[in-house]
Amino acid sequence: MFAKNKFLLIIMVFCVGSVFVSCKKSDSSLLVDLSASSNLAVSKKWAIINTVYVAFRSSYDSKADIKAPGRLGDIYCVMGHHISKDGKNWYQFDKGWLPASSVVIYDNKLQAQFAAKKLDS
């Protein structure tokens, strides 16, 4: 009978001990990198410059001041869109405005990056 009680005591100590060991606070944390998902965002449009050289303008007018240069294959996030009185489409970027004839618009950054790689080859 003593052996049976000793066996039950050992099992009970083991079970209680395993509860305390399994309930300790773990130092490891799970890190999730969501930066790649922004490349698939459908709320943003992306553009590739499709001409060898283009000038970003300060406004949606071909006579507006030049703000910065753009080159073939450069990728930019579209910030705005405007249709001028003469019916020309203009896209706004962080560097300025470009006419629609100078860019190709894509639904997400990954599509734009893939298309830009094809321009390089």
CB 61 within 8 A of CB 91: no
The three-class DSSP label of residue 80 is: strand
Q: CA angle, 109 as apex, 73 and 119 as ends, to 5°?
A: 25
Confidence of residue 83 (pLDDT cuts 50, 70, 90): very high
CB 51 within 8 A of CB 102: yes
Q: In this structure, how many other beta carbons lie within 10 angstroms of the beta carbon of residue 70? A: 21
- Total-model pTM: 0.65
From the list 103, 66, 63, the residue with the least C-alpha distance to 81 is 103
Domains of the chain plus CATH, in order, are 41-120 (2.30.30.40)
Cα–Cα distance between 82 and 60 in angstroms, integer? 7
Residue, of 3 and 94, whose pLDDT is higher = 94
Residue 112 has pLDDT above 90, yes or no: yes
Mean pLDDT of 85-93: 94
Determine if residue 105 is left, alpha or beta; phi over 0 gives left, psi from -120 to 50 gives alpha, anything else beta. beta
Q: Which two tokens stand for residue 81?
A: 């869109």
Confidence of residue 75 (pLDDT cuts 50, 70, 90): very high
